[in-house]
Amino acid sequence: MATHKLLLLPGDGIGTEIMAEVEKIIDFLGSQDSSVTFEVERDLVGGAAYDAHGEAITDAAMAKADAADAVIFGAVGGQKWDDVPYEHRPEAGLLRLRKDLDLFANLRPAICYPALADASSLKRSLVEGLDILIVRELTGGTYFGEPKEIVDLADGEQRGVDTTVYTTREIDRVVRVALDLAKVRTNKLHMAAKWNVMKTGVLWQKVTTATHKAYAPDVELNLILADNCAMQLIRNPRQFDVIVTDNLFGDILSDEAAMMTGSLGMLPSASLGAPDGSTGRRKALYEPVHGSAPDISGQGLANPIAMIASFAMALRYSFGMGQQADAIEQAIAKVLDSGLRTADIMQDGKTKVGTEQMGTAILQELQATLS
């Protein structure tokens, strides 16, 4: 009997709406398979935690996250907290989870479901069959480098400083993850950096080349300048399979890749730590790539697919439940084939539904497959 400990952190805005749809799936899987139990805890994060406790995540919630087998995260942020001190911004809760749990490898798959080939802002001929995986380094670079500050200058001017820092070890470990993933896909890896301008870029180029040679020389490795990569993703996205890149470029390239799938509401992610030497267990957090979508929150309009697909990634990467993960992804594909669409992926002639109807339809499809 396997017991999987989940910590659900819905967060703010549409985070709570999409999490409700995942909870239905958790309940179903727990009731359907007697050999699996999900032990579910919940807590606040982001603006909701700030309102209740004055900080974007409490030590108590961090302790729960540390003890969990997987954290399932909705989204944080919103205008309401625009003026709170920087260190208490809703986003600080997410950044602390990533950093303190050492979740350095962020997997962001962008898959264009067949039914959505015409929903992308790119032509069908470019996105049909698209299946790429961005591996974003998540605990280093510009997000966490010191100093990070706004300095008052003598003449009333201010200077904002962010620092981009990477060590050999930080690059090597995420490149290995990307090489491992490339091996089980099409054996092709792109590494995007700016070694023509940035010192960290020079190190990314050097370490990636060395790690590739020592660890997986059979994988086809392509080094690409990050700006060219952004352009090539729009020009011909299917030339890519796995792309490994730093924290900031990965953030931007993954939002770009999202639009090839039809909507930001389609992109899930897994943030993984290193496997423990003795147990093989790795810390993990699963979240959609999108944010709290203040413009549509509270209206039941959000697309829950990125959130549900993030839970499928949890089943696959944390619980060895690949079959159930596949079943969830197939249920999503079938529901899209049947013509249901949330507003963000709406197309002529299709049936517009809200968050709850979309979640229920996916659950029913899953029930039909697994029962």
Could you say which of 194, 283, 286, 334 is catalytic? 194
Q: In the range 86-145, which residues lie near ligand NAD by CB under 6 A?
A: 91, 94
Residue number, 271 or 355, with CB nearest to ligand IPM: 271
301 marked as part of a ligand binding site? yes
Q: Report, in Å, the least distance between residue 83 CB and ligand IPM.
A: 17
**Active site annotation includes 143:** yes
- Asked if 294 touches ligand NAD (CB under 6 A), the answer is yes
The distance of closest approach from Cβ of residue 330 to ligand IPM in the complex, given in angstroms and rounded to an integer, is: 26
The string of DSSP letters for 288-335 reads ESS---TTTTTTT----HHHHHHHHHHHHHHSS-HHHHHHHHHHHHHH
Number of other residues whose CB lies within 10 A of the CB of residue 241: 17
Sign of CA dihedral 344, 71, 175, 182: negative
| Residue least distant from ligand IPM (Cβ) | 91
| Helical packing angle, 247-258 and 226-235, nearest 10° | 10
Residue for token digits 């590739």?
212
Smallest gap from residue 129 Cβ to ligand NAD (A): 23
Q: If binding is defined by CB under 6 A, does position 296 make contact with ligand NAD? A: yes
When the beta carbons of 68 and 264 are compared against ligand NAD, the nearer one is 264
Concerning whether 80 is annotated as a catalytic residue, the answer is no
By CB under 5 A, which span of 176-184, 202-210, 249-257, 274-282 interacts with Mn ion? 249-257
- Is 180 within any annotated ligand binding site? no
Q: How many CB atoms neighbour CB 166 within 10 A?
A: 23
Q: Which does 302 bind (CB under 5 to 8 A by kind): Mn ion, ligand NAD, ligand IPM, none?
A: ligand NAD
Dist. CA 223–CA 198, nearest whole Å: 15
Active site residue 227: yes
Is residue 246 part of the annotated active site? The answer reads no
* CA distance to 205, 237, 276, 328, per residue, from 35 (Å): 46, 41, 24, 19
CA 149, CA 162: separation in Å to the nearest integer? 7
Binding region for Mg(2+): 227, 251, 255
Summarize as ranges the residues that interact with ligand NAD (CB under 6 A).
Answer: 14, 75-78, 91, 94, 264-265, 287, 290-296, 302-303, 306, 344
Binding region: 98, 108, 136, 227, 251, 255, 291-303
